[in-house]
Amino acid sequence: MATAVYAGTFDPVTFGHLDIIGRSAQVFERLIVATTHSHSKNPLFSLEERVDLLRRSVAGMPGEIEVRSFSGLLVDFARTVDASVLVRGLRAAGDFDYEFQMAMMNRALAPEIETSFFVTNPRYMFVSSSLIREIAAAGGPLDEFVTPLVRDAIISRLG
């Protein structure tokens, strides 16, 4: 039984992410959902806001789930929380090259930590946080992709 870390930018957390969280929390003894600064992505929500939205989104989900933020390398964070697995979600073939590169690099940095891929629920295959932000900015419907909590946070942020 292992501790796993599911890391991402989660700007914002979507039903696709929550699907991966729910399923991986059934497989691993303890799941740590972790988010980080991601300066290159220039997030809509601050790190503290993303942690808060994640915490409120996973509250009540079955399994031992914690939400944390980290800075620096993901594998260093994983070591500090005694995690032996990094969880990633795979949507379509397009994700594979990026995910494969990241998994190989993480393995080079920390050979004792495995990457485990969860194939996405087909309902969320086309969902991404940037598309959600784009739909929200154009006033489009969000209810199929994010929780009401996240929907309201995006709408109020975009004014």
Active site residue ranges: 17, 41, 91, 129
12 touching ligand COA, by CB under 6 A: no
Token couple for 43 = 């997030």
Considering only 4, 9, 33, 153, the residue that binds ligand COA (CB under 6 A) is 9
Q: What's the closest the beta carbon of residue 157 comes to ligand COA, in angstroms?
A: 15
Token couple for 46 = 């601050």
What is the helix (H) or strand (E) element at residue 88, kind and residue range?
Answer: strand 85-90
**Residues 64 and 32: beta-carbon distance below 8 Å:** no
**Residues 6 and 33: beta-carbon distance below 8 Å:** yes
105 touching ligand COA, by CB under 6 A: yes
69 touching ligand COA, by CB under 6 A: no
Residue nearest to ligand COA (CB): 16
**Residues 64 and 25: beta-carbon distance below 8 Å:** yes
Using CB under 6 A, list all residues that contact ligand COA: 7-11, 14, 16-17, 20, 36, 38, 73-74, 89, 91, 102, 105-106, 120, 124, 127-130
